[in-house]
Structure 1
Amino acid sequence: MWRILFLIHVGLAGIWATDYELLLEDPDIFAPCTEARPGTMFIREAINFDKLTVEQDPDTIHISGNATTNWDLQPNDRIAAKFALFHYQRGNWEPTVFTMATQDFCAIMYDKDQYWFKYWTTFITNRQEVQQDCIKKAGTTLIHEPFHLRLMLTNIRGATLHGRYKTVISFEAFDEKNVPRPNSVCFEIRGEAEKVK
């Protein structure tokens, strides 16, 4: 009996799963982090976008061209990366359960099972060069084949998403003794959550 009820519950949860898209507020897409610690670099300081084209239409971001790193770290530094989704409620940005983090971004940036790869690094064509220096060495060029990005959360079960949200993406460097470097990188992408029909 319990097995049958469990299977019915799992089946219904699959039916009730929903996809959501983040409709961007800002045509510039990236915004500085509102709660960054002193010394934090904005993404446009850490990476030169002069030769990277980022265009937005109603539901897709189109990206092509090259980006060059300005962030200058030591070869043996470790980079921790984090993605977190926040919901705006009653005048505050509240954390949600949607978080993704890695303690060693350079080790997984080309791992096919990682979201970083699926949504970004798979489109970097000069993999051998980038894998060698990761994003640690100033002057490293990331050559992108043209790609399209939709900011989506898929197969979400549970509470309905509605209202304003922001994603906070951060990269933090640590030296060989695991001491954080002062110049971490942080940026936000803000928008309205909309149910995909």
Structure 2
Amino acid sequence: MWKILFLIHVGLAGIWATDYELLLEDPDIFTPCTEAPPGTIFIRDAINFDQLKVEQEADTIHISGNATTTWDLQPNDRIAAKFALFHHQRGNWEPTVFTMATKDFCPMMYDKDQYWFKYWTSFITNREDVEQHCIKKLGTTLIHEPFDLRLMLKNIRGATLSGRYKTVISFEAFDERNVPRPHGVCFEIRGEAEKIKK
């Protein structure tokens, strides 16, 4: 009996799962973090996007070209990365359960199970160079094949997502003694959550 109830629950949960996408507020996509630690720099201070073409059309972002790192770290530095989703309620940004973090981003850049691989690094064509230097070495060029991006959360179960949301993405560098470098990187992507009709 319990097995049957469990199978019914799993089946219904699959049916009730919903996909959402974030419709961007700002055509520039990235905005500075509103609550960044002192000394934190904006993504455009860590990576030069002058040669990267980004065009927004309805719910799709078209990306092509190159980006070049200007964040100058040491080869043995470790970069921790974090992604967190916040919901705007009653004038405040409240955290949600959607968070992803890694203590060592560089070895994970090309991990096929990670969101940044699916949405970003899988489209960087000079993989060998990027894997060697990550985003630590000044002047490393990230060469992108043209790709389309939709900011989506898939198979969400539970409460319905609606209203304004922001994604806060941060990178923090640590030296060989595990001491934080003075300038971490932080940026936000803001938009309106919309249910995708299937």
TM-score range, shorter chain: over 0.9
CA-CA distance at 1:33 after TM superposition: 0.3
Task: Give the length in aligned residue pairs.
Answer: 197
Question: Residue 21 of structure 1: SS of its match in structure 2?
Answer: strand
Residue 66 of structure 2 is aligned to residue 73 of structure 1? no
Q: Which whole-Å CA distance do the structure 2 matches of 1:115 and 1:193 have between them?
A: 18
1:127 aligned partner, one-letter code:
R
Q: Which whole-Å CA distance do the structure 2 matches of 1:4 and 1:53 have between them?
A: 53
Q: 1:174 maps to which residue? A: 174
TM-score (norm 2): 0.98
Please give the per-residue CA displacement for 1:116-137, whole angstroms capped at 9, x wherever unaligned: 2111111111111111111001
Q: RMSD value over aligned CA atoms?
A: 0.7
Q: Which whole-Å CA distance do the structure 2 matches of 1:11 and 1:127 have between them?
A: 40
Q: 1:155 maps to which residue? A: 155
Q: 1:5 maps to which residue? A: 5
Q: How does 1:45-194 map to 2 (within 5 A)?
A: 45-194=45-194
Q: Which whole-Å CA distance do the structure 2 matches of 1:81 and 1:190 have between them?
A: 19
Question: Residue 172 of structure 2: SS of its match in structure 1?
Answer: strand
Question: Residue 4 of structure 1: SS of its match in structure 2?
Answer: helix
CA-CA distance at 1:111 after TM superposition: 1.5
CA-CA distance at 1:53 after TM superposition: 0.5
1:2 aligned partner, one-letter code:
W
1:149 aligned partner, one-letter code:
L
Q: Which whole-Å CA distance do the structure 1 matches of 2:190 and 2:167 have between them?
A: 6
Please give the per-residue CA displacement for 1:48-85, whole angstroms capped at 9, x wherever unaligned: 00000011111111110000000000110000011110
Runs ≥4 residues deviating over 6 A: none
Q: Which whole-Å CA distance do the structure 2 matches of 1:110 and 1:75 have between them?
A: 18
Q: Which whole-Å CA distance do the structure 1 matches of 2:149 and 2:101 have between them?
A: 20
Q: Which whole-Å CA distance do the structure 2 matches of 1:161 and 1:110 have between them?
A: 29
1:89 aligned partner, one-letter code:
Q
Give unmatched runs, 5+ long, in structure 2.
none
Q: Which whole-Å CA distance do the structure 2 matches of 1:125 and 1:58 have between them?
A: 26
Q: Which whole-Å CA distance do the structure 2 matches of 1:118 and 1:193 have between them?
A: 20
Q: Which whole-Å CA distance do the structure 2 matches of 1:112 and 1:88 have between them?
A: 31
Please give the per-residue CA displacement for 1:14-41, whole angstroms capped at 9, x wherever unaligned: 1000000100001111000000011111
1:64 aligned partner, one-letter code:
S
